[in-house]
Amino acid sequence: MKLEKINLLMALRLLININLLLGGLLWSASGHSQDEAELASLSDAYVYEGNSHFNNSFLEAEKNYRMALSEMPSNTKGAYNLGNAYYNAELYDEALARLLEAARKGTKLEKHRAYHNIGNVLMQDKQCKKAVEAYKNALRNDPKDEESRYNLAIAQECAKEEGGGGDDDQEEKEQNQDQQKQNEEKKDSDKAQDKEEKNKDKGEEEDGSNKGEDEKKENSKPQDNKGDESSDTKKPEPQAGKLSPQQIKNLLEAMNNEEKKVQEKVNASKKKGVKVKSDKDW
């Protein structure tokens, strides 16, 4: 919620509290001396006069509230309404001091109103975490007040945004819940991982068993004698352009035979005496 809206809410609540005090200003003389009763009546009269100037003249309202407290320092209404007058004048330090005074001396209902407006003052001063405690005190004295509860929620949100934490107990509770959730998630994750590993081990065992059976079946089959190509002892084959030793041997024998035939022919010619022509025929 924006600050302007928060301020409007606080101001409205502040005026309501002041109006509620207007009907209870008379002091009961029962159990008090006549002088005390007279002082109480005079003090309440100053409070009443101050209330009549509250919306129109801060100075007149402040003067009458001070007079009320000078006549009777224990007049909670004087301290409370003076604190509210300072609040409207944006004198927040003075307002806080008077409202704390009213909270110390007041009845349960007056404590509730004082602590509520103390929270308002602290919110104006951007002390959100302290405002949270003030609204809590207001609710302790009147748990049914929804406006105090609403302002408490705003103060808690403000404190979180400022990084100070709006509610230590609630924050600790939430942290414990988060930690518990993380532990449960980790536990579930560990269980899932264990299950996955068990399934993996089981699968590997089954694969190993199947592999052993396959090997056993494979070994029982007749071999095709192909073997490993790398272990074959192949006969050397003649490469292109080269003669094998046997071919060379055959070639030499053929050449020798041919040479023998030529020699035999030469020898036969010599024996016959064939004349060789030296001139051309005409």
* Type and span of the H or E element at 74: none
Q: What domain range is 21 assigned to?
A: 3-164
Overall domain count for the chain: 2
Q: Domain holding 124: CATH number?
A: 1.25.40.10
Instruction: Looking at the structure, tell me whether residues 155 and 173 fall in a common domain.
Output: no
| Whether residue 52 is found in the same domain as residue 185 | no
Q: Which of 145, 164, 183 is the last residue of a domain?
A: 164
Asked if 156 and 16 sit in the same domain, the reply is: yes
Whether residue 62 is contained in a domain is answered as yes
- 177 in a structural domain: yes
Does residue 160 sit in the same domain as residue 172?
no
Same domain as 147, residue 184: no
| Residue 20, C-beta contacts closer than 8 angstroms, at least 6 positions apart | 113
**Along the chain (282 residues), what's the average pLDDT of each consecutive run of 10 residues?**
44 46 45 73 90 91 92 91 93 94 91 94 91 94 91 91 60 57 66 76 66 61 44 44 73 79 70 40 30
Query: Do residues 82 and 178 both lie within one domain?
Result: no
Does 36 fall in a domain? yes
105 and 185 in a single domain? The answer is no
For 40-56, the pLDDT digits (tens) are 888 889 999 999 999 99
pLDDT of residue 261: 79
Q: C-alpha angle 160/163/168, rounded to 5°?
A: 60
Give the predicted TM-score (pTM) of the model. 0.51
| pLDDT in the model for residue 116 | 94
C-beta separation of 17 from 113 below 8 A = yes
**Are residues 49 and 135 both part of a single domain?**
yes
Q: Given this model, what pLDDT does residue 273 score? A: 46
Q: Are residues 44 and 177 in the same domain?
A: no
Catalogue the long-range contacts made by 220-223 (C-beta closer than 8 Å, 24 or more residues apart).
none
Specify whether 152 is located in the same domain as 44. Answer: yes
